[in-house]
Amino acid sequence: MPSAAVNQTYVGIKVYAFVGAAGTGKSQRAQFVADFLDADYIIDDGLVIRRTTIVAGRSAKAERNQIKAIRRAMFEYDDHRKAVMDFFRSVPHCSIMIIATSEGMVERIIRKLELPAPSRVIHIEEVATPEEIARARKERHSKGQHVIPVSHVLVRKNFAGKMVGRLRVLWRTKAPYEGEKTIVRPPFSFYGEVRIEPEAIEQLASYAASRVLQVRGKPVARVYSTSEDELCIDLDIKATPGDRSIIAVSEMVRQRVARSIRYFSGLGVHNVNVNVVGVDFSK
């Protein structure tokens, strides 16, 4: 991983990374690796964890769709990111281990949280045998179960899916506390890539707008993104006179399109601009 200049956002923070593909057993071994590295905190799926206790952040597994979960894990929500950054400013001279599916993901998290580059990267293959990795992958594929290195009591407060069970002290460490882990089944899967073409968002926006009363024909949508990776949508509609004013119809279209895209895609919508390009007086 390329080196970066020392970041002045925090005081005396050292960063490590624990990397492995989804479903290879990283969270099961998280505390073992953190113990080996002498890391004070673990960043895993949007959470900041210390000794199986959540101290900051919000779990990506609390989200109800995959897009939102990925954005949560990448700290792309402003309030979430700010809360975690404020926490680390309050605990100077500590060390952090970031759990990620790739070194690219580590770089993105570091950039979002303004952390220094990791001084060491450990890959799952260094701490797990090929047989153990294959077994973990099989469990994930067949059962859809995830492990969170946190007490089940805390998971109940931070999780949207189904709790399946608990794991205790699978790997003994030098730490004086027990490494309790919770098995969960989220309402989504982290397997594979998620790619949403702009045309799909444009079609969704056009359909949502067309369902508003007093909108005629097929609205035309154009999608672009802001610097914060949120969507802006320009929408051309034709309206027809009726019980609502043209302004009221435009506002209904704006709200319905924004709500539909957020709900069905999990993407953030910065703005919906509705342009009334014509009024149809025919019945």
Last residue of a domain, one of 163, 185, 207: 185
Residue 193 forms part of a structural domain: no
- Whether residues 21 and 144 share a domain: the answer is yes
- Whether residues 123 and 152 share a domain: the answer is yes
Q: Provide the residue range defining the domain that includes 59.
A: 14-185
pLDDT in tens, 160-182: 444 444 444 444 444 444 444 54
Prediction pTM value: 0.59
pLDDT the model gives residue 177: 42
pLDDT the model gives residue 83: 94
Q: What is d(CA 263, CA 266) in angstroms, rounded to the nearest whole number?
A: 6
- Whether residues 20 and 109 share a domain: the answer is yes
pLDDT in tens, 255-265: 999 988 887 77
- Whether residues 114 and 165 share a domain: the answer is yes
Residue 135 forms part of a structural domain: yes
3-state secondary structure the chain: CCCCCCCCCCCCCEEEEEECCCCCCCHHHHHHHHHHHCCCEEEECCEEEECCEEEEECCHHHCCCHHHHHHHHCCCCHHHHHHHHHHHHCCCCCEEEEEECCHHHHHHHHHHHCCCCCCEEEEHHHCCCHHHHHHHHHHHHHHCCEEECCCHHHHHHHCCCEEEEEEECCCCCCCCCCCEEEEEECCCCCCCCCCCCHHHHHHHHHHHHHCCCCEEEEEEEEEEECCCCCEEEEEEEEECCCCCCHHHHHHHHHHHHHHHHHHHHCCCEEEEEEEEEEECCCC
- Whether residues 207 and 268 share a domain: the answer is yes
Last residue of a domain, one of 156, 185, 214: 185
What is the average pLDDT value for the chain, to the nearest integer?
79
- Whether residues 129 and 213 share a domain: the answer is no
Cβ burial of 73 (10 Å; 0-12, 13-18, 19+) is buried
Q: What is d(CA 18, CA 24) in angstroms, rounded to the nearest whole number?
A: 12
Count up the domains in the chain and report the number.
Answer: 2
What amino acid is encoded at 97 in this protein?
M
- Whether residues 33 and 153 share a domain: the answer is yes
pLDDT in tens, 122-137: 999 998 888 888 887 7
- Whether residues 218 and 179 share a domain: the answer is no
- Report how far apart, in Å, the C-alpha atoms of 119 and of each of 1, 2, 39, 103 are: 10, 11, 12, 13
Residue 1 forms part of a structural domain: no
Last residue of a domain, one of 145, 161, 185: 185
pLDDT the model gives residue 60: 81
Is the pLDDT at 157 greater than 90, yes or no? no
- Whether residues 159 and 242 share a domain: the answer is no
- Whether residues 59 and 22 share a domain: the answer is yes
Residue 7 forms part of a structural domain: no
Residue 154 forms part of a structural domain: yes
CATH of the domain at 259: 3.30.70.1350
Residue 9 forms part of a structural domain: no
Band (228; pLDDT cuts 50, 70, 90)? low
Residue 223 forms part of a structural domain: yes
- Whether residues 175 and 260 share a domain: the answer is no
Q: What percent of the chain has pLDDT above 70?
A: 74
Residue 268 forms part of a structural domain: yes
- Whether residues 122 and 60 share a domain: the answer is yes
Is the pLDDT at 185 greater than 60, yes or no? no
